[in-house]
Amino acid sequence: MPPLSRQAMLDQYSHAWRRKLFQTLGLFAVILVASWYVNLLDFRTLANGIPAIGTLMAESFPPDFRNIMDWVYPLLDTLAMSIAGTAIAVIASVPLAFLAARNTSPHPVVYHLTRTTLNALRSVPELIMGIIFVAAVGFGALPGVLALGLHSIGMVGKFFAEAIEHVDEAPVEAATAAGATRLQVLYHAVFPQVLPQFADVAIYRWEYNFRASTVMGMVGAGGIGFELMGSLRIMQYQEVSAILIVILVMVTLVDALSGRLRKRFK
């Protein structure tokens, strides 16, 4: 194939640049339309809300930590909720991921059914699931664990399946040529390759679930979110700010711990 002339290269570059420009302008147009639709561009309304925000911030300080000892057990409930929900998701997602990956699924029908199941679990927000489970099993940490676990299966299973689809096929072919069964191939050739990614996704999901579990308490699923909602209802804004600071400290600690865990699995 003869090399392109200088003019042809300039034309090709110009065409690519125009295409990227139109794509960028289209993206900005979508952002502007969405912002206009939700009244984000209504600066008058935003300006009118600033004094109210300032008043609320003034009423929230100084933070009131007098009841901090009463928040210890709700914090433990929140932490336990996030750990249990993540554990349920990881345990259930491992077999589902192998069924939802194109290169390990036993049949296209199984692949599509599993993918649809993961999409369905992922499409329902954990807050909605929490409301449903609170209505089904009552108040407490259990509905929060079930909601976080089921919603997390949809996300964790998807990421696990994508990790499986990107494995190196050379070990798989070598194990198959050696006469290994299908389960042996998955266990010895596929699983060792994806284990670090699995651990990374699980730890990230635990971080997310801890934050989400604070919101779950607002719908009656227990934890520190329940205390936060109670303070909001009686307009104890100084106590609300104190609870938010405690949540921020816990989130920071969880992030630091998860960072150390990720380094150990690399």
CATH of the domain at 221: 1.10.3720.10
Angstrom distance (rounded) from CA 239 to CA 56: 13
Return the amino acid letter for 68: I
Calculate the average pLDDT of the chain. 81
Which value, to the nearest 10 degrees, does the dihedral of the CA atoms of residues 17, 22, 28, 34 take? -150
- Tokens standing for residue 136: 């089904």
Read off the pLDDT of residues 104-162 as tens digits, 9 standing for 90 and up.
888 889 989 999 999 998 888 888 888 888 888 877 778 888 888 999 998 999 999 99
Domain of residue 51: give its range: 6-59
The pLDDT of 169-185, averaged and rounded, is 79
Are 41 and 79 found together in one domain? Answer: no
Angstrom distance (rounded) from CA 114 to CA 135: 28
The beta strand positions in the chain, using DSSP E, are none
Are 198 and 226 found together in one domain? Answer: yes
Are 153 and 40 found together in one domain? Answer: no
- Taking CA 69 as the corner, what is the angle to CA 226 and CA 74, rounded to the nearest 5 degrees? 30
Structural domain count, the chain: 2
Is position 207 within any domain?
yes
User: How many residues in the chain?
Assistant: 266
pTM for the full predicted model: 0.76
Is position 1 within any domain?
no
